[in-house]
Structure 1
Amino acid sequence: MTDDERSQRAARAASFEQGAAGYARARPGYPAAAVDWLLDGVGAAPAPARVLDLAAGTGLLTERLVARGLDVVAVDASPAMLAELTARLPTVEAHVGTAESVPLDDGSVDAVLVATAWHWFDEAVAGREIARVLRPGGRLGIVRNDRDTSVDWVAAFGDLLHRGDSLQRPEESFDPHPGAAFGPVERAVFPWTDTIAPSGLRALAGTRSHLLTVPDVEREAILDEVDRLAATHPDLAGREAVALPYVARCVRTDRAA
């Protein structure tokens, strides 16, 4: 990665601070089957497993973890994103921090989950930090939602989202390597659908880091094209709600004991 690409990625990652409210409203959550797979075998009764949601954002995955009765701690670099999370989930312990500098003690969690954020990390540094906060044998689970672009209108939507984007699309590569402290990596995919109003595609598009960081004129032009897609595509026009298909791509691995 070049210095320019690193600078662009840093700016893009920081852009979520200004888009937190829209992110909380528009972004999808994660399928229960994926969370079940990521955490399979984690924790033992009677005490609930302590799970870190790293780069937790507005709490889309955190909500799933709380519903399972887990002892959840959330960490994110954006105070605005965490404010959305704590408004939604006021009982969750939350800290400002990064994957490269996690504000937790050594060996203090049974699992670390990362949802649609691994591509923002310095993989080598984050892997060492995650290994540090995990107990021996603890689980690292990574999940990422990718839109299913085999559907025509979804592919057209994706093309608009990435128009003029000079960085690699996150969905083009998903091959995490957390480092030597971890054992074999397992992978799984979980197709699922979210229900969305075609008119809501504009708000969803507006949460993308590329659109949060381009000039206003360019952003509005792309968002207007999204509105035009919603109004004219035969699978979208005139409908109150449609199924937006996703594939949740998952990776899990355990810290060496």
Structure 2
Amino acid sequence: MRDESCDWVAKITGLLAPYEGDAPRFHSGRWRLPFESSRYFSVPEASALPHSHVGSPERVIVDRFLSVSFIAALPDDEKRRFAEALRRLIATDPDLSGREEVAFPYRTEAYCCVRL
């Protein structure tokens, strides 16, 4: 998962949100519903491990988000506008502007359930 406790990562999520539509997304939390009413499994317990994708802003931000399925499926002109919005964020955000390399923060979440 993107670590949205980082301000610029949260801004990227804001840019993505209008395009998500009904695409199944982890952050919606809907995946938890079957566990909440299950007679067979306990409620999932989470562990989180931080890591970063390090590289140029163009590679770890622009290229990465242009490959998201619902962005990649956009018409070319809309995809171009989305890429321009990402590049504007990179150019104007004080934590990204002028940087040759950035560390994009992620959290890997692992869940454990017990069969009841």
TM-score, reference length from structure 1: 0.38
Contact persistence 1:198–1:239 (CA under 8 A): yes
**Aligned pair 1:187/2:50, yes or no?**
no
Larger radius of gyration: 1
Q: SS in structure 1 opposite 2:94?
A: coil
Runs of 5+ in structure 1 lacking a partner?
1-145
The alpha carbon displacement at 1:181 in A equals 9.7
Q: Map of 1:84-103 to 2, 5 A cutoff?
A: none
* Structure with higher strand content: 1
Letter in 2 for 1:161: L
Letter in 2 for 1:175: R
The alpha carbon displacement at 1:246 in A equals 1.3
Residue number among 128, 141, 158 corresponding to 2:13 in the alignment = 158
4+ runs deviating over 3 angstroms: 180-186, 253-256
Q: Equivalents in 2 of 1:255, 1:207: separation in Å?
A: 37
**Aligned pair 1:243/2:110, yes or no?**
no
Letter in 2 for 1:223: A
**Aligned pair 1:221/2:76, yes or no?**
no
Structure 2 counterpart of 1:175: 32
Structure 2 counterpart of 1:149: 4
Q: Which moved more, 1:159-168 or 1:196-205?
A: 159-168
Cα deviations across residues 75-105 of structure 1 (Å, max 9, x unaligned)? Answer: xxxxxxxxxxxxxxxxxxxxxxxxxxxxxxx
Q: Map of 1:202-213 to 2, 5 A cutoff?
A: 202-213=62-73
* Structure with higher helix content: 2
Structure 1 counterpart of 2:93: 233
Higher relative contact order (CA 8 A, sep 6+): 2
Letter in 1 for 2:18: R
Superposed CA RMSD: 2.6
TM-score, reference length from structure 2: 0.76
The alpha carbon displacement at 1:183 in A equals 4.2
